[in-house]
Amino acid sequence: DGHDILTGGVNAPDSVPAESTAVAYNLTVTATQISGFLTVSPGTATGVTASSINWSGDGQNLANGSIVGIDTSRQVRVFAGGGGSTDFVIDIVGYFL
């Protein structure tokens, strides 16, 4: 779903069609602390296979783009690791049928 940037409310339901198999996305981390990583995986994933973005200190703002498969509910799962923390945003920029 698409969400309003100010309220977080859904303003564009079902932006990714039900028959989609993957999405292209931009992942942004901000307000990082210490060092760490995020992994974006299909919604059925149970563990980390590779990092999608890494940070190495406090106060960094970083972005990375990639493609990830999605599950049948059109979901992805985000894993965090490395001991640090961050705020993050995922922007879907396309999908694959």
Which stretches of the chain score pLDDT less than 50? none
CA torsion through residues 14, 16, 20, 22, sign: negative
Which pLDDT does position 20 carry in this prediction? 95
Residue 47 gets which letter from DSSP? S
Q: Which of 36, 40, 37, 29 is nearest to 67 (CA)?
A: 40
Q: Do 76 and 41 touch, CB atoms closer than 8 A? A: yes
Measured CA to CA, the distance from residue 96 to residue 49 in angstroms comes to 22
Cβ-based neighbour number of residue 39 at 10 Å: 19
Give me the pLDDT at residue 1, please.
Answer: 81
Residue 49 is predicted with a pLDDT of 87
Query: What's phi and psi for 60, nearest 5 deg?
Result: -85, 150
Most distant CA atoms of the chain, gap in Å = 40
